[in-house]
Amino acid sequence: MKPRNQNPHWKPLTNMCSPCDISYEYILFLESFNEDLQFLVDTLNITKINLETRKNYKSNGTVPRPREGVGPSDDLLTLDPNLLQYYLQLPPHLMAQVIHYYTLDFKLLGFQVPPVLTSFTTS
């Protein structure tokens, strides 16, 4: 599965930034961005940053907060029922291709594919 004109937003991280060629000191995750950013600010003693400023505000001006317990170090083997219904709309062979396409990213970033999706692709 290698699209000809792939949108760079969907490109696997391992194809974009050569993660094995760069010795990163810190990696922040979108799933736990607020907590990760706070850790970085505290660790590096950063004083000139407003942790409440975000460019993607909701229409009411509030900042979306991540769900509690979400992050690569957590055991994310269950899916939100709405996400599960969304994923189950894909044909099993296509879901298997998507999982395969992002396998290196999953391994690199410590994510696991929920068993319900892998069993769905093999049944």
Lowest mean pLDDT among 23-32, 49-58, 80-89, 100-109: 49-58
Nearest to 121 by CA among 89, 96, 87: 96
pTM (predicted TM-score): 0.58
How buried is residue 117: exposed, middle or buried, by Cβ count under 10 Å (0-12/13-18/19+)?
buried
Whether 54 has a pLDDT exceeding 50, the answer reads yes
| pLDDT per residue as tens digits for the range 60-83 | 444 344 444 444 434 345 667 778
pLDDT above 80 for 58: no
Given a contact cutoff of 8 angstroms between Cβ atoms, the answer to whether 104 and 12 are in contact is: yes
Of the two residues 11 and 69, the one the predictor is more confident about is 11
**How many percent of the chain have pLDDT more than 90?**
11
Q: What is the pLDDT of residue 24?
A: 81
